[in-house]
A and B are shown apart, each in its own frame.
Chain A
Amino acid sequence: MVGATSSGKSSFAKKHFLPTEILSSDFFRAMVSDDENDQSVSREAFDLLFYAANKRLDLMKTTVVDATNVQPSARKQIVDLAREQNVHAVAIVLNLPERVLQERNAARPERGYPEHVIRKHVSDLRRSIKNLKREGFRFVYVLNSEEEVNEAEIVRTKMWNDKKDEHGPFDIIGDVHGCYDELVALLQKLGYENSEPDGFAHPAGRKAVFLGDLCDRGPKNVAVLRLVMKMVKNGHALAVPGNHDVKLVKYLLGKNVQITHGLDRTIAELEQESPEFREEVRAFLDGLVSHYVLDDGRLVVSHAGLKQEYIGRGSMRVREFCLYGEATGETDEYGLPVRLNWAADYRGKATLVYGHIPQLEIQAMNGTWCIDTGCVFGGKLTAFRFPEREPVQVDALKEYYAPVKPLSPQQNVSDDMLTAGDVQGRLHLTTALMPSILVQENNAAAALEIMSRFAADPHWLIYLPPTMSPCETSELDGYLEYPTEAFAYYRGRGIQNVVCEKKHMGSRAVIVLCHTEEAARKRFGVTDGSRGIIYTRTGRHFFDNAEIEKEVLARLDAVLTKTGFWTDFNTEWVCLDTELMPWSEKAQTLLSKQYAPVGRAGRDALAAAVAALEETCKRQNRAFEVDAVTSGQNVEPMALLERFRAKRDAIDGYVKAYREYCWPVHSVDDLKIAPFHLLASEGHVFNEEQHVWHMEKLKQYCTGVDPIFMATDYICVDTADDASVQAGVDWWLKLTGSGGEGMVVKPETYIAKRQTEVLQPAVKCRGAEYLRIIYGPEYLLPDNLQRLRKRSLSRKRSLAIREFSLGMESLTRFVNKEPLYRVHECVFGVLAFESEPVDPRL
């Protein structure tokens, strides 16, 4: 707003804009000083005002600066902000007669200004009006009377580049450069039909999008221009300008341009055309908008790409970026500008498709796609189908123009460095299962340390498994956990059928395997020659010895090759969730620092105690009357002996329990690997398949060939059928009675929901003997058991669901070929949640 005091700017703004859109200097004066008329705090007030304006413009929000703005210096600040933010500055000028203002001012005794202030305002304003455009206001509206002010209407228009309501589908076509024959062939291949007089159109209503550089260098520039202009005119195509197109416009406008880089060919062709046609070409190219935001913001197209902070904005800076990209100012050995790799830093949500840089193959990075495949240089003409995200290509018929620099082969595919900003601070993650997952800053900090110090190459980490909650505690004598509670969890939430899988007591291991090194390079961007990985639940290499990892992977590949997995699933890679045994392989430190010492100390100490008590019981002991305050209570040695015998038996049971899960590993043959989820392969995350499908497919393809890969026993239980429930209980009793850890109860489907609530993907139910190594040797002594029954699962369960959602999301993103940082943030989120303190015994 521009206007003298009392000209009614605030009322005008209130009438036409949202209260939150208006940043009023009075308001900010009051905010810092409690007095909206205190001119002495103007500087502080404007600091705040512009701070707020900046934040709003970061988010592309219409912002109205309600201040007098009659001085050029005040307006300069606004224009500068608009330039910095690449948005348009608009001036609405309330240019009322001084008489009206003086009258109004007089009627407002509480803030009446001296007459001369208003007079000065008015004269400043009058002088300013003609300069506003030159100062940098893109649009200027001057309202010269009270009537005009009252009748004014504000019509909001979209940015020219805003075509969010165009939903395509689209066929985005890279730099054509006059390759008319290839363009026609490509359009036909895409299913476009040519009918006179309308030109090319797609029967299914698809729309072509031309990425600019229509002409120069190639053989049939005018024909290309004609075709494209017709398609655009008839609504079958959109087009953005390229640097060559802009140069052509300058030429056509008679400006002095260098006739280089193939412009001569276009000029020669245009010479043959009528002046009217030349003018039509000029008007068409001149009217093109730098870039388009399409399909509700999911797709952005421009000639030379775009930084995410420029998307949807309008300024010369944005336009130049769209035309030329960003260069360092240096040139390479061919004299070509050295380009800044802005795509490596692209973190926008929109798929961004551009051309400009000819390369042998399509170049994808962080959701940006460069599809200039150098047709005019003898390469290919490429169309990129959206939303399918697939290329359709035709080969150039010949090399029409020799490139200055040979077309570059694919750049380093792993040129996708993660940046600190991707994972630092509070992270807000969005997943298909849970729309909003928040990772607190301290957890992210902890995850950053773990990820940096211990985790494997993040390119491999496409999934981390979620934590798993146990069932509620049982009230049954002698049991802390019992299957009926696990069944009850699901039945109580409307899930009737569950699958019980044997819980192997080893260590969680995720296996990612590529059939070839080439697949590892192409699909995972891993270039060190490895073709897979086995990693722990925190993303560390499972084996310190790389040779063992290599051998296990080779043996898995042999199995999958033999069983036909690679061909049947039409994939070059697979991701499996497994349990790797023995436990002692990964838990050796825990065993030798904690488990075995407790067993040793307990057995020896308790044996000595029992022996001493046995001796004592052989003798006559008497109870005496004593003063219990100064002396001890009487105690019956026999009772003590019984108590310590029970403790001794408990420690023996404990030692027996942990020994079950230990055996020496001399070679890979001593390992056992039990896969239980076939997580993903090319094109698929198998979370729509039921658990029985996973079990059976793994049996069919992974186990039974090489003895180190073993199948997992399971049974299905109908929780509404007493006999089936009993069968499940019996199965568990048998399993845990023979040294098994217990079982995992899962809903029939991989993802289970009650309405919108995601349920636990699995609930574990551990055997009574096994739990000795969790809750201590003596946990089953009745008093202890009673106390342990009180435990809270809610935190663990909430974490399990968030981690599960993130795990599914990271796999989905990877399968959808989303950029590394998008996959990594989910994996990182799981690791961050794992740093939450939660009772480790659950």
Chain B
Amino acid sequence: MLLTITYTGKNTQDLGYLLHKNPYRAQSFDLSFGNAYVFYPKVSNEETTAALLLDLNPIDLARGKLGSTEGGLFDYVNDRPYVASSFLSTALVRVFGTAMNGKCDKKPELVDQPLDLTACVHMLPCRGNEEMPKEVFEPLGYTVETRQTELDEVFPEWGGSAYIDLTLHGNVTVAALLNHLYVLIPVFDRQKHYFVSEEEIEKLLKHGEGWLNAHPARNKIVSRYFHMKRSYAHKAIDRLIESEPVDDADVGDEETEKAEAQVPDEVREKRISLNTRRLDAVKNAVLESGASSVIDLGCGECKLTAMLLEENQIKRVGAADVAVHVLEKAKQTLRYDRMPPYKKNKLTLMQASLTYKDPRFSGYDAACVVEVVEHLDPQRIPAFERVLFEFATPNTVVLTTPNKEYNAHYEWLAEDTLRHHDHRFEWTREEFKAWAAQICERFGYIVEISEIGDVDEACGAPTQMGVFRKCV
């Protein structure tokens, strides 16, 4: 919410002309979300500092503007009024728009003149991206200084905060500095206060003119600028580079990136291939069992379900998940509404829980439980066992779960942590074997356990799969 720009040199009061703001006058501007103030803490021949201060109304943010019927976007307890975010960019355009366009009638000779400028951005959200300030500003010729802050000095154990004070020194034109800030501040924060629409592409191209295309972190900047809107990022990059193809890996979508921020790229790629191999293995196990009907328990977004639907051997497919929003997403992925009747009739989608006995689970030849058990609390496993093996009793159960021992291969994973934050446990190969054995003993099944993924001599493979067959 506070940006200061300092000009050092001779006759630095000229900064007032460049910014079109009189150094001897404090001014206020109405913005749609509050006020912006411009004032000069320091004015002298040698050094002049202009300050842009935002005054956001937290109640407006939380409740929507006074008199409007739309609710607000934010919580009452919110960092928005205090941090440097897209609000600041919007204010820059409103307050310094002329300067950003490189216009100055009174001192036209200064417009294209690089000056010694220092910009100080207070409280820039920068979680987990310590290198990013340098990565994005240094190629533009700035010296970058950052000051880290801790979350609360009374509770040092809570660790550091996500905010930095960012100071940039450079010999640049005022217009360039302002345009750099306009584009790059929201790149750090990624939470935008307005609906991101296609018009944003124009804005980005305009303010990035002359520097963004050649920027080494261009793709990252663009994709983060458009955060949720992957397609806009693609379009913007296409237009920036005029048809040079874009590498998909650089333009991740928000959700996966959020969850995977800690995971190195090569691991991510490996994981994608592991998932494919896993689903193939499960599908093959189902087909080999001779099943003509199968239920995908914990179907998630129905990746496996979709594969099973394609198989001619399979005449009936059930897909169950407990999360309604996931099922909604699955319907989109499957294009459920437009599915041809012969396929749609094959498929039954249902919200269902694996810890409640459910007659809808019965009557399938096979059941798949892929990467699901580890999401159940250990205390709920007995209920799950009975729901599946005592009441649903499919002839074949194909169940996969991570092999904990293999976690040693994931260097990015701290010791004694699980692969996913929602995993309640992960089994070693011995533990899985023991669990499977008692299932067979109690419910009359035989099991064959195999491994999926690259097998390591000491640790086994990343995924273990049990194919249970009912004894008749």
- The chain A residues found within 8 Å of chain B, CB to CB, are 417-424, 442, 445-446, 448-449, 451-454, 456-457, 528, 541, 591-592, 594-602, 604-606, 608-609, 611-613, 615-616, 619-624, 631-637, 640, 643-644, 651, 655, 659, 662, 664, 773-779, 784, 787-788, 841
A-B CB proximity, top 7 nearest: A632-B27, A615-B41, A452-B353, A776-B76, A420-B358, A601-B82, A635-B28
Q: Is A418 within 8 A of B322, CB to CB?
A: no
Contact A616 B387 (CB under 8 A): no
Bound form: Cα–Cα A632–B97 in Å: 13
Where the two chains meet, the residues of B that have a C-beta atom closer than 8 Å to any C-beta of A are 1-2, 4, 20-22, 24-30, 37-43, 49, 51, 53, 55, 57-59, 62-63, 66, 75-79, 81-83, 95, 122-123, 149-152, 154-155, 157-159, 161-163, 165, 322-324, 351-360, 375, 377, 379-380, 382-383, 386-387, 391
Chain A hits for B154, CB < 8 A: 659
Known: A448-B353, A597-B161. A774 touches B58 (CB 8 A): no
Beyond A418-B357, A605-B1, A664-B157, is A776–B27 a contact (Cβ under 8 Å)? no
Bound together, the chains give a CA A632 to CA B351 distance in angstroms of: 57
Q: How far is the CA of A633 from the CA of B59 in the complex (A)?
A: 23
Tell me how far the C-beta of A820 lies from the nearest C-beta in chain B, rounded to whole angstroms: 12
User: In the complex, what distance in Å separates the CA atom of A406 from the CA atom of B302?
Assistant: 50
**Which chain A residue shows the least CB distance to B354?**
A452
A interface secondary structure, majority:
helix
> Are A445 and B324 in contact (CB-based, < 8 A)?
yes
Are A592 and B151 in touch, CB under 8 angstroms? yes
Kindly state the separation between the CA atoms of A596 and B359 in the bound complex, as whole angstroms: 48
Residues of B within 8 A of A623 (CB): 25
Asked if B39 and A616 sit within 8 Å, CB to CB, the answer is: yes
Task: Give the Cβ gap from A31 to chain B, nearest Cβ, in Å.
Answer: 28
Contact residues of B: prevailing secondary structure: mixed
Q: How far is the CA of A449 from the CA of B325 in the complex (A)?
A: 10
Q: What is the CA–CA distance of A665 and B27 in the complex, to the nearest angstrom?
A: 50
- How many angstroms between the C-alpha atoms of A334 and B190 in the bound complex? 70
Minimal Cβ-Cβ distance residue in B for A541? B377
A644 to B28, CA, bound (A): 14
Choose from A417, A595, A616, A651 the contact partner of B383 (Cβ within 8 Å): A417
With A417-B387, A640-B37, A776-B58 given, is the CB distance from A632 to B28 under 8 Å? yes
User: Could you tell me if A787 and B59 are in contact, using CB atoms closer than 8 angstroms?
Assistant: yes
Say which residue of A420, A456, A602, A633 sits within 8 Å of B81 (CB atoms). A602
Q: Which residues of B contact A605 (CB under 8 A)?
A: 1-2, 82-83, 122-123
Inter-subunit contact B356/A602 (CB<8 Å):
no
**Taking each of A424, A453, A601, which has the highest tally of chain B beta carbons within 10 Å of its own beta carbon?**
A601
Q: Among B55, B66, B377, which residue has the most Cβ atoms of chain A within 10 A?
A: B377
**Contacting residue for B356 out of A419, A595, A597, CB 8 A:** A419
A605-B82, A640-B26, A775-B76 known; A451+B353 contact, CB < 8 A: yes
**Contacts A453-B322, A601-B83, A634-B26 known; A621 to B159 CB distance under 8 Å?**
no
CA distance A643 to B386 in the complex (A): 64
B379 engages A456 (CB within 8 Å)? yes
Q: Are B24 and A620 in contact (CB under 8 A)?
A: yes
* Seed contacts A452-B353, A631-B27, A659-B152; 12 additional CB < 8 Å A-B pairs: A419-B359, A420-B353, A420-B357, A457-B379, A602-B79, A602-B82, A605-B83, A612-B4, A612-B39, A619-B24, A634-B25, A775-B76
Question: Is A788 touching B152 in the complex (CB atoms < 8 A)?
Answer: no
Residues of B within 8 A of A451 (CB): 353
Q: Please list 23 pairs of residues, one from A and one from B, whose beta carbons are closer than 8 Å in the complex, sorted by A's number.
A: A417-B356, A424-B351, A448-B351, A448-B353, A449-B351, A452-B356, A592-B151, A597-B162, A599-B152, A600-B161, A602-B82, A604-B165, A605-B1, A613-B41, A613-B53, A616-B41, A616-B51, A632-B29, A659-B152, A774-B76, A776-B76, A776-B77, A778-B81
Are A604 and B25 in touch, CB under 8 angstroms?
no
Q: Which residues of B contact A417 (CB under 8 A)?
A: 356-357, 383, 386-387, 391
Closest to A619 in B: B43
Nearest A residue to B323, CB-CB: A449
